[in-house]
Chains A and B, each alone.
Chain A
Amino acid sequence: MELLNLPYHAVRPHLGRDLSVEELVETYLERIRRTDEVVRAYLTVTADLARAQARRWDARIRRGEELPPLVGFPVALKDNLCTRGVRTTCGSRILENFVPPYDATAVRRLVEAGAVVLGKTNLDEFAMGSSTEHSAFFPTRNPWNPEYVPGGSSGGSAAAVAVRSALGALGSDTGGSIRLPAALCGVVGLKPTYGRVSRYGLVAYASSLDQIGPIARDVRDCALLLQAISGKDPMDSTSVEVPVPDYASSLRPEVRGLRIGLPREAFGEGLHPAVQEAVLRAVRVLEREGAEVEEVRLPTLEYALPAYYLIACAEVSSNLARYDGVAYGYRSPRAGDLYTLYARTRAEGFGPEAKRRIMLGTFALSAGYYEGFYRKAQQVRTLVRRDFERCFERVDLLATPVCPTPGFRMGERLEDPLQMYLVDIYTLPVNLAGLPAISIPCGFWEGLPLGLQLIGRPFDEGTVLRAAYTYEQATGGSPKAPPLVEGAR
Chain B
Amino acid sequence: MTEYEVAIGLEIHVQLQTESKMFCGCSTRFGAPPNTQTCPTCLGLPGALPVINRKAVDLGLRTALALHCTVHPKSQFHRKNYYYPDLPKNYQISQYQYLDHPPLATDGYLEIEVEGTLRRVGIRRVHLEEDTGRLLHPEGADYTLVDYNRSGVPLMEIVTDPDLRSPQEARAFLLKLRQILQYAEVSSGRMEEGTLRCDANVSLRRPGEPLGTRTEVKNMNSIRAVERALQYEIERQRALLQRGEAVIQETRHWDERSGVTFASRTKEEAEDYRYFPEPDLVPLEITPAWIDRVRAELPELPDARRDRLMRVYGFGRYEAEILTATRFQADFFEEAVRLHPSPRAIANWLVGDVAGYLNEHNLELEDLPITPLHLAELVRLIEEGVISGRIAKDILPEVLGTGRRPSEVVRERGLLQISDEEALREVVRAVLAEHPEPVQDFRKGKERAIGFLVGQVMKRTGGRANPALVNRLLREELERLPA
Contacts of A98 in B (CB 8 A): 46
Q: Is the CB of B85 within 8 A of A362?
A: no
For the complex, is A445 an interface residue (Cβ under 8 Å from B)?
A: no
Interface hits, B250-275 → A, CB 8 Å: 272, 274-275
Interface hits, A353-385 → B, CB 8 Å: 362, 365-367, 370, 374
Question: Given A199-B49, A201-B47, A370-B276, do A321 and B90 touch, yes or no (CB 8 Å)?
Answer: yes
Contact segment of B103-111, B197-205, B279-287, B383-391: B279-287
Q: Is the CB of A321 within 8 A of B281?
A: no
Contacts of A314 in B (CB 8 A): 276
A90 to B46, CA, bound (A): 10
Contacts of B279 in A (CB 8 A): 206-208, 238, 315
Interface hits, B68-109 → A, CB 8 Å: 79, 81, 83, 85, 88-91
Contacts of A328 in B (CB 8 A): 45
Q: Is the CB of B48 within 8 A of A200?
A: yes
Q: Is the CB of A327 within 8 A of B88?
A: yes
Task: Name B284's closest neighbour in chain A (CB-CB).
Answer: A237
Question: Given A237-B281, A324-B90, do A200 and B47 touch, yes or no (CB 8 Å)?
Answer: yes
Q: Would you give the 0/1 interface string for A180-207, flagging 1 where the beta carbon is closer than 8 Å to chain B? A: 0000000000000000000111111011
For the complex, is B50 an interface residue (Cβ under 8 Å from A)?
A: yes
A202 to B49, CA, bound (A): 9
Question: Given A238-B280, A318-B274, A362-B274, do A324 and B83 touch, yes or no (CB 8 Å)?
Answer: yes
Q: Is the CB of A234 within 8 A of B46?
A: no
Interface size on A, residues (CB 8 A): 43
Q: Is the CB of B83 within 8 A of A238?
A: no
**Which of A203, A327, A370 has the largest number of chain B CB atoms within 10 A?**
A327
Q: Is the CB of B88 within 8 A of A374?
A: no
Q: Is the CB of B43 within 8 A of A327?
A: yes
A174 to B361, CA, bound (A): 63
**Which of A208, A321, A327 touches B146 (beta carbons < 8 Å)?**
A327
Task: Name A324's closest neighbour in chain B (CB-CB).
Answer: B90
Q: Is the CB of B46 within 8 A of A101?
A: no
Q: Is the CB of B81 within 8 A of A318?
A: yes
Q: Would you give the 0/1 interface string for B368-410, flagging 1 where the beta carbon is closer than 8 Å to chain A? A: 0000000000000000000000000000000000000000000
Q: Would you give the 0/1 interface string for B139-172, flagging 1 where the beta carbon is closer than 8 Å to chain A? A: 0000000101000000000000000000000000
**Which of A201, A207, A322, A362 touches B88 (beta carbons < 8 Å)?**
A322
Contacts of A204 in B (CB 8 A): 46-47, 280
For the complex, is B438 an interface residue (Cβ under 8 Å from A)?
A: no
Interface size on B, residues (CB 8 A): 29
For the complex, is A88 an interface residue (Cβ under 8 Å from B)?
A: yes
Q: Is the CB of A200 within 8 A of B49?
A: yes
Output the least CB separation between A165 and chain B (Å). 25
Q: Is the CB of A237 within 8 A of B90?
A: no
Q: Is the CB of A365 within 8 A of B81?
A: yes
**Which of B44, B49, B50, B282 has the largest number of chain A CB atoms within 10 A?**
B49
Interface hits, A191-238 → B, CB 8 Å: 199-204, 206-208, 234-238
Contacts of A317 in B (CB 8 A): 81, 274
For the complex, is A418 an interface residue (Cβ under 8 Å from B)?
A: no
User: How would you classify the secondary structure of chain A's contact residues: helix, strand, loop or mixed?
Assistant: loop
Q: Is the CB of A365 within 8 A of B51?
A: no
For the complex, is A397 an interface residue (Cβ under 8 Å from B)?
A: no
A104 to B46, CA, bound (A): 10
Output the least CB separation between B78 and chain A (Å). 10
Q: Is the CB of B282 within 8 A of A238?
A: yes
For the complex, is B52 an interface residue (Cβ under 8 Å from A)?
A: yes
A262 to B421, CA, bound (A): 112
For the complex, is A444 an interface residue (Cβ under 8 Å from B)?
A: no
Contacts of A208 in B (CB 8 A): 279
A345 to B43, CA, bound (A): 19
Q: Is the CB of A202 within 8 A of B47?
A: yes
Interface hits, B12-46 → A, CB 8 Å: 40, 43-46
For the complex, is A342 an interface residue (Cβ under 8 Å from B)?
A: yes
Interface hits, B297-337 → A, CB 8 Å: none
For the complex, is A95 an interface residue (Cβ under 8 Å from B)?
A: yes
**Which of B45, B85, B275, B281 has the largest number of chain A CB atoms within 10 A?**
B45
A14 to B412, CA, bound (A): 87
Interface hits, A235-282 → B, CB 8 Å: 235-238
**Which of A238, A321, A362 touches B91 (beta carbons < 8 Å)?**
A321
Contacts of B46 in A (CB 8 A): 82, 88, 90, 95, 98, 100, 203-204, 322
**Which of B47, B51, B83, B274 touches A82 (beta carbons < 8 Å)?**
B47
Task: Name A378's closest neighbour in chain B (CB-CB).
Answer: B277
Output the least CB separation between B41 and chain A (Å). 8
Contacts of B274 in A (CB 8 A): 317-318, 362, 365-367, 370
Interface hits, A83-128 → B, CB 8 Å: 88, 90, 95, 98, 100-102, 104
Contacts of A201 in B (CB 8 A): 47-48
A117 to B43, CA, bound (A): 27
Q: Would you give the 0/1 interface string for A420-433, flagging 1 where the beta carbon is closer than 8 Å to chain B? A: 00000000000000
Q: Is the CB of A101 within 8 A of B45?
A: yes
For the complex, is A3 an interface residue (Cβ under 8 Å from B)?
A: no
A207 to B91, CA, bound (A): 14
**Which of A322, A362, A366, A370 touches B44 (beta carbons < 8 Å)?**
A322
Task: Name A328's closest neighbour in chain B (CB-CB).
Answer: B45
Contacts of A80 in B (CB 8 A): 47
Q: Is the CB of B49 within 8 A of A237?
A: yes
Question: Given A101-B40, A315-B279, do A326 and B47 touch, yes or no (CB 8 Å)?
Answer: no
Output the least CB separation between A103 and chain B (Å). 10
Q: Is the CB of B47 within 8 A of A321?
A: no
**Which of B43, B89, B275, B279 has the largest number of chain A CB atoms within 10 A?**
B279
Interface hits, B329-357 → A, CB 8 Å: none
Question: Given A315-B279, A326-B88, A367-B272, do A104 and B47 touch, yes or no (CB 8 Å)?
Answer: yes
A88 to B45, CA, bound (A): 12
Q: Is the CB of B45 within 8 A of A237?
A: no
Output the least CB separation between B22 and chain A (Å). 13
**Which of B46, B49, B51 has the largest number of chain A CB atoms within 10 A?**
B46
Contacts of B148 in A (CB 8 A): 327
A277 to B50, CA, bound (A): 46
Q: Is the CB of B40 within 8 A of A322?
A: no
Return the 7 tightest CB-CB contacts between A and B, nearest first: A321-B90, A208-B279, A207-B279, A365-B274, A203-B46, A201-B47, A82-B47
Task: Beyond A199-B49, A318-B276, A367-B272, list 8 extra A-B contacts (CB 8 Å).
Answer: A90-B46, A200-B48, A237-B49, A321-B83, A321-B91, A326-B85, A365-B276, A367-B274
Query: Can you list 6 A-B contacts (CB < 8 A)?
Result: A201-B48, A237-B51, A327-B146, A366-B272, A366-B274, A374-B276
